C-alpha cells in the first residue's frame, strides 16, 4: 500500500491540531494536595527525601493553603506528625478532640470554608509500633482496629472533615465507618477509601516525613501483594458495597493497569496516589540532569489520568498547575 488513506500523522502536524486531537486533559480540579502538618509555630521543614516538599506548623499550613486556593487547588489530604510521647498502641491521641488533626480541621475550615478536606484515617502516625493497626502478640488485630478507626472517622467529621480517607487496609473498615458516621448524624461526610493499597517500597520518603516507619516487620499482612490484580477488584467491590464514595489505587505509576481495571469495574470515582517515592524518583533524576523534571512530572500525571483516574493525589500539584497555566 503505497498511498495509505489513513495517515495518523495528519492529526499530529501542528500544535493547534495536536491540541484539538488531544484525548486527555489535566486541570487543577483533578488534583488532591497532600499536606504534612506538625506541632509548633512558624515551622517549615523540608523533607530530606522529598526535595522542595515541606512539613509546616499549622499557622504556616494556613498560609500555604491560601496559596493553593489562589491557584485553584482546593482539595487537600491532611496528615499529621505526632510527637513520640503521644504515641501508644490504642490510639488515645487519634481521638483527642484537641489533637493536631482536629485542631487543623477547625482552623482550616474557619478560614477556608470552600476547601475540601480529606483526613488520613490510620493508626500509624499515632502508633508506638508504627503500624496501621493495634498490635497484639506481634499481630495487627483487625476488628479492634476497625472500631478505633470508626471512632477516629467520627472525631474527624466532628472537627469538620469533608471526607475521611482510611489508608489502613483493615477488613470491614468502610462499612464500620459508614455506620458510625450515619449513627452520629454525619450523613454527608464522605469516605474516600484507600481500596487497593499495595505493600510498596515507594512509601519510604513519606515515612521519613511523618517518622512513621513500622517498628517491627512490614505491612504485608494488611497491604496488598504487588503481584495481585484480581484482589484489587475484590477490594473495590467490597468498599463500594460498604459505602465508599471514592476509591483509590496506590501507588500510581507501577499500578496503572490496576487503575484501569478498577475504573472499569465500579461506578464510583477512582483516585490514584502518586506516592512519595514516585515524587522522589523524578526529583532525584532531575537533580542529576538525567530527566527533565517538568516533562517527567506531566507525562506521569497524564498517564494516570489516561489510565482512568478521575482524581490524582500528588506532591507535584502546585508545579503541575503552574505548567498548565503556561501552556
Ligand atoms: C499511612 C499512609 C502511608 C501513605 C499514606 N498513608 C504510608 C504507609 O502506608 O506506610 C503513603 C503516602 C506516600 O508515600 O506518599 N497509612
- For atom 7 of ligand 1, the residue with the nearest CA is 203
Identify the pLDDT of residue 258.
98
Whole-number Å distance, alpha carbon 19 to ligand 1 midpoint, is: 36
Nearest ligand 1 atom, CA 275:
15
Identify the pLDDT of residue 215.
92
Quick check: is 111 in a domain? yes
Per the structure block, which three cell numbers stand in for 164?
A: 475521611
Question: Which range, of 39-53, 174-188, 209-223, 289-303, averages the lowest pLDDT?
Answer: 209-223
Quick check: is 11 in a domain? no
| Residue 325 annotated in active site | no
Quick check: is 124 in a domain? yes
Per the structure block, which three cell numbers stand in for 101?
A: 488533626
- How many domains is the chain partitioned into structurally? 1
pTM check: above 0.95:
yes
Quick check: is 272 in a domain? yes
Widest CA span of the chain, in angstroms? 75
Identify the pLDDT of residue 3.
80
3-state percent breakdown (helix, strand, coil) of the chain, nearest 5: 45, 20, 35
List 74, 87, 197, 283, catalytic entry:
197
- For atom 5 of ligand 1, the residue with the nearest CA is 167
The whole-chain average pLDDT of the chain stands at 97
Nearest ligand 1 atom, CA 277:
14
Whole-number Å distance, alpha carbon 203 to ligand 1 midpoint, is: 6
Residue 220 has pLDDT above 80, yes or no: yes
Quick check: is 16 in a domain? no
Element spanning 229, H or E: none
CATH of the domain at 148: 3.20.20.70
Q: What is the per-residue pLDDT across 197-207, written as a single tens digit (0 to 9) for each?
A: 999 999 999 99
Alpha helices in the chain (DSSP H): 15-20, 58-70, 100-111, 142-159, 173-183, 204-210, 230-242, 256-265, 276-287, 293-307, 317-326
Quick check: is 17 in a domain? no
Nearest ligand 1 atom, CA 120:
6
Q: What is the per-residue pLDDT across 75-91, written as a single tens digit (0 to 9) for each?
A: 999 999 999 999 999 99
| Residue 109 annotated in active site | no
Quick check: is 242 in a domain? yes
Residue 1 has pLDDT above 70, yes or no: no
Give the end-to-end CA distance of the chain in Å, rounded to a whole number: 38
Whole-number Å distance, alpha carbon 168 to ligand 1 midpoint, is: 9
Mean pLDDT over 53-74 rounds to 98
Identify the pLDDT of residue 212.
86
Quick check: is 309 in a domain? yes
Q: What domain range is 143 assigned to?
A: 26-326
CA-to-CA distance for 67 and 133, rounded, in angstroms? 35
Amino acid at each position: 500500500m503505497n498511498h495509505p488513506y489513513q495517515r495518523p500523522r495528519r492529526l499530529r502536524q501542528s500544535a493547534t491540531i495536536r491540541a484539538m486531537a488531544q484525548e486527555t486533559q489535566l486541570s487543577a480540579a483533578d488534583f488532591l494536595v497532600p499536606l504534612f502538618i506538625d506541632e509548633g509555630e512558624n515551622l517549615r521543614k523540608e523533607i530530606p527525601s522529598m526535595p522542595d516538599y515541606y512539613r509546616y506548623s499549622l499557622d504556616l499550613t494556613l498560609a500555604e493553603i491560601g496559596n493553593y486556593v489562589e491557584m485553584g487547588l482546593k482539595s487537600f489530604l491532611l496528615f499529621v506528625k505526632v510527637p513520640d510521647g503521644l504515641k501508644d498502641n490504642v490510639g488515645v491521641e487519634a481521638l483527642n478532640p484537641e489533637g493536631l488533626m482536629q485542631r487543623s480541621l477547625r482552623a482550616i475550615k474557619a478560614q477556608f470554608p470552600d476547601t475540601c478536606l480529606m483526613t488520613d484515617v490510620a493508626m500509624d502516625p499515632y502508633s508506638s509500633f508504627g503500624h496501621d493497626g493495634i498490635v497484639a502478640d506481634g499481630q495487627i488485630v483487625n476488628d479492634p482496629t476497625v472500631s478505633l478507626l470508626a471512632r477516629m472517622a467520627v472525631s474527624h467529621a466532628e472537627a469538620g472533615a469533608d471526607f475521611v480517607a482510611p489508608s489502613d487496609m483493615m477488613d470491614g473498615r468502610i462499612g464500620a465507618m459508614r455506620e458510625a458516621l450515619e449513627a452520629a448524624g454525619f450523613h454527608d461526610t464522605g469516605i474516600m477509601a484507600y481500596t487497593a493499597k499495595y505493600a510498596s517500597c515507594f512509601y519510604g520518603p513519606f515515612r521519613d516525613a511523618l517518622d512513621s516507619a513500622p517498628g517491627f516487620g512490614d505491612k504485608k499482612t494488611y497491604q496488598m501483594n504487588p503481584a495481585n490484580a484480581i484482589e484489587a477488584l475484590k477490594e473495590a467491590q467490597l468498599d463500594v458495597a460498604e459505602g465508599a464514595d471514592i476509591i483509590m489505587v496506590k501507588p500510581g505509576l507501577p499500578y496503572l493497569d490496576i487503575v484501569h481495571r478498577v475504573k472499569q469495574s465500579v461506578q464510583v470515582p477512582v483516585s490514584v496516589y502518586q506516592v512519595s517515592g514516585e515524587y522522589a524518583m523524578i526529583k532525584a533524576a532531575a537533580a542529576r540532569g538525567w530527566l527533565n523534571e517538568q516533562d517527567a512530572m506531566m507525562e506521569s500525571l497524564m498517564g494516570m489520568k489516561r489510565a482512568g483516574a478521575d482524581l490524582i493525589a500528588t506532591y507535584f500539584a502546585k508545579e503541575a498547575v503552574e505548567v498548565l497555566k503556561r501552556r
